[in-house]
Structure 1
Amino acid sequence: MKGKLFFVINTLQGGGAERVVSTLAGNLQQRNFAVHIICLNYAESSYKIPPEIKVVYLVSRRGESVFYRLYYAGLTGFKLVNLLITEKPNTVISFMTSANLWTGITCLLTRTPYIVSERTTPDHTLNQFGRFLKCATFVIYSKAKAVVLPSRGIALALKKIKAFQHLTNLVVIKNPVTSFTSFSKQRVHSSKFILGVGRLSYEKGFDQLIEAYANIKSTDTDLLIAGEGIELESLRKQVDLLQLGASVQLIGSKSNLQDYYHQAEVFVLPSREEGYPNALIEAMSVGCPSIAMDCEFGPSEIINHGKNGLLIQDKNIKKMSESIFKVLSDPVLKAKLAANARLINHTNALDIISAKWEKIIVDL
């Protein structure tokens, strides 16, 4: 056995970071590490975890009052410290800011080596902190063996924060691509379709995709959006207001996304912000011609415009409409983008990405 690893994350309920944790944990377990996943809060897992991996839930929240928050904070800290003392992991790896802070504090108390990983734009995490908390976070991150980021853009944004300018342990490791091995021969939708995939939230920009689709005035190609989230009703109202009828369908979460990627005419990522979009690399991995907004961060590090996909100026809905129409109407371009997109299976292969993580762990 190469050693005992703890992955720490808030929950395993959906999301890109949660997918990366479940995928990496499984692969590192196959590489002969003893892997535990520590969830700070209980929630049903959206991902299949190998039975050899032990999943530990620290608390199950039942209230959000100030009293309950203080109680659960104390309980979380106590249980995490106790686990570190009794299990003695060789390395702890945490994902997302809140888990990073819990991990850093408890690992420093128990003198346990740790790695933290930021997964999204600092504007919604570290830049929201006051001076004291920023300084405390810098201390925690500076004492980590590495601060792993999925894109160079996040690394540059982190360095722009005054308190973080002197971090010297930043490491960029891309997200691994999911390896789809089989596809259904049955059609998932009765008509040709454009596909969007992700959490239904403002930052994912599906309102922009619906507006762009309305501008195309396509009659033979539908728009399907897979995912769930707080913007569901707002998006439904937008579809009704634009009188798009059954042409635009919000189809919820799907366990067979690979079939949707495989059968879509084109995949569109309309996000206002990202960290490193898993849905984009998944679509590209099966050869789905892909279009993405050049938002912060990730798409510009994945798509080589005109070669393996189309990159659109951020927030340019008119250009998105034109790009979708261009791919739908140009079979030569569509075939070229599809063929080159599949190369992501090599650059972002799970074994390659896991080997980079293993090197950091072993170097500790």
Structure 2
Amino acid sequence: MKKICFITPSLQKGGMERVISVLSNYLIDQGYEISIICVINGICSYTIDRRVKHIYPQFNYSRGILNKVKSFRFLYRTFKEENPDIVISFSEVFNPLSIAVSLLTGDKIIISDRSNPKLKHTLRDNLTRKLTYPLANGIIAQTELAKLIFLRKRYNKNIKVIPNPLKDIVNTVFKPSNKAIITVGRLVDSKNQKELIDLFYEIRNEEWKLYIVGGGKNEMKLKQQVRDLGLDNCVIFSGEVSDVESWMEKGSIFAYTSLSEGFPNALNEAMAYPLASIAYNCDAGVSDLIEDSKNGFLISMGEHDSYKEKLKLLMDNESLRLSFMEQGILNREKFKVETIAKTLTDFLSHTIGKK
């Protein structure tokens, strides 16, 4: 097995796209031939080795049956031209289409459904998954919870749990004395920054700042909330940034209030940076990273007062912050790209070897 094709909607900024870029850069150095097939045109937001082949369609994608047909023809032609040993489709939106194409071309295909495994889908999407996913040669699940749900739904029998790899983090300095809370994520409802601002207001500690890193459709609404609460001087919005680590170095606490995850890359990176972390135990992946009271605080969903109590405890206790940092940095070894890539390539080789 030497030639791997990744399928993704695009290479614009996102957790799935970051994972593909990290794995591609590592695997190309290990002697694999890597192609990334983007179904939608767009800029590449990540630094990817020039030896990795990027393939884009010659049309602008939009919803509708006509564009599905165009995408099908594009993927069919590309599969034939690339002749990969195996295809890895990283998009629940395009997974069924990729599976259908692979059946015609005779290529082996692994799919990865990256969303929250408990997310409710439309009847049509549920039916499409039930019909197509068992026809794939295997599935990559990001968490044990996802694997259990996929098995229960009979999506496939060949399922492997492979968490997301960490990007290289070079920071070696612990700063538990920094009086700043960091959160990272798109400014959308599911990331729940609104509640974090409320929590920060309720604790009312003027020595501390809150940095909200990321951009999104809720930015203006969240800024208005900050103004209404009189927090203009202590809540800072970064907007879209490319260097998240330059913001993490300002803080000592990472607070995550996300309501839904597939696998929380931002939390994993923050713990490994390291920052002392606290998060809601949402579906899925957070409990794969945080062991409550050992390397962070894991708060039951909806327990606003408990979250506030634990966040205030972290803010008041520098030695506790340092302890969580010392444990959280161990994630660097557990989720390093070498380990994750080895698990992936072993799974691919096993799958290719199966009749």
- TM-score normalized with structure 2 length: 0.93
Output the CA distance in 1 between the equivalents of 2:172 and 2:100.
Answer: 45
Does structure 1 residue 34 correspond to structure 2 residue 33? yes
Q: Structure 1's 182 and 266: CA in aligned 2 closer, same or farther, altered over 3 A?
A: closer
1:110 is matched with which residue? 105
Q: Structure 1's 347 and 291: CA in aligned 2 closer, same or farther, altered over 3 A?
A: same
Output the CA distance in 2 between the equivalents of 1:36 and 1:63.
Answer: 23
Q: 1:129 aligns with which of 122, 128, 148?
A: 122
Q: 1:170 aligns with which of 151, 159, 167?
A: 159
2:18 is matched with which residue? 19
Q: 2:78 aligns with which of 79, 83, 90?
A: 83
Does structure 1 residue 179 correspond to structure 2 residue 168? yes
Which stretches in structure 2 are left out of the alignment for 5+ residues? none
Asked whether the 8 Å contact 1:26–1:50 carries over to 2, the reply is yes
Q: 1:140 aligns with which of 132, 153, 175?
A: 132
Asked whether the 8 Å contact 2:136–2:156 carries over to 1, the reply is no
For the residue of structure 2 that corresponds to 1:171, the secondary structure is: strand
Output the CA distance in 1 between the equivalents of 2:315 and 2:126.
Answer: 47
Question: 1:186-219: CA deviations, max 9, x gaps?
Answer: x9xxx84210001111111111111111111010
Does structure 1 residue 323 correspond to structure 2 residue 306? no
Asked whether the 8 Å contact 1:198–1:204 carries over to 2, the reply is yes
Q: Structure 1's 357 and 58: CA in aligned 2 closer, same or farther, altered over 3 A?
A: same
* Letter paired with 1:259: S
Aligned pairs, how many?
349
Which stretches in structure 1 are left out of the alignment for 5+ residues? none
Output the CA distance in 1 between the equivalents of 2:155 and 2:192.
Answer: 34
- Report the Cα offset of residue 264 of structure 1: 0.9
- Report the Cα offset of residue 135 of structure 1: 3.6
Does structure 1 residue 262 correspond to structure 2 residue 262? no
Asked whether the 8 Å contact 2:150–2:156 carries over to 1, the reply is no
Output the CA distance in 1 between the equivalents of 2:229 and 2:31.
Answer: 54
Asked whether the 8 Å contact 1:183–1:262 carries over to 2, the reply is no
Output the CA distance in 2 between the equivalents of 1:27 and 1:224.
Answer: 32
1:308 is matched with which residue? 295
| Deviates further, 150-159 or 218-227 | 150-159
* Letter paired with 1:316: E
1:220 is matched with which residue? 207
Output the CA distance in 1 between the equivalents of 2:155 and 2:81.
Answer: 34
Question: 1:64-98: CA deviations, max 9, x gaps?
Answer: 6xxxx333222211111011112211100011211
- Report the Cα offset of residue 347 of structure 1: 0.9
Does structure 1 residue 100 correspond to structure 2 residue 95? yes
Q: CA RMSD in A?
A: 2.1
Asked whether the 8 Å contact 2:40–2:56 carries over to 1, the reply is yes
Does structure 1 residue 286 correspond to structure 2 residue 273? yes
Asked whether the 8 Å contact 1:150–1:173 carries over to 2, the reply is yes
- Report the Cα offset of residue 313 of structure 1: 1.4
Question: 1:11-44: CA deviations, max 9, x gaps?
Answer: 1111111111111111111121110001110121
* Letter paired with 1:281: N
Output the CA distance in 2 between the equivalents of 1:343 and 1:314.
Answer: 26
1:273 is matched with which residue? 260
Output the CA distance in 1 between the equivalents of 2:233 and 2:204.
Answer: 13
Q: Structure 1's 74 and 167: CA in aligned 2 closer, same or farther, altered over 3 A?
A: closer
Percent identity between matched residues is 27
| Deviates further, 257-266 or 103-112 | 257-266
- Report the Cα offset of residue 295 of structure 1: 0.6
Output the CA distance in 2 between the equivalents of 1:47 and 1:60.
Answer: 22
Output the CA distance in 1 between the equivalents of 2:3 and 2:206.
Answer: 56
- Report the Cα offset of residue 328 of structure 1: 1.6
- Report the Cα offset of residue 5 of structure 1: 0.9
Asked whether the 8 Å contact 1:183–1:259 carries over to 2, the reply is no
- Residues 191-270 of structure 1 mapped to structure 2, 5 A cutoff: 192-270=179-257
Asked whether the 8 Å contact 2:130–2:154 carries over to 1, the reply is no
- Report the Cα offset of residue 182 of structure 1: 5.3
* Letter paired with 1:177: L
Does structure 1 residue 338 correspond to structure 2 residue 325? yes
Output the CA distance in 2 between the equivalents of 1:10 and 1:183.
Answer: 35
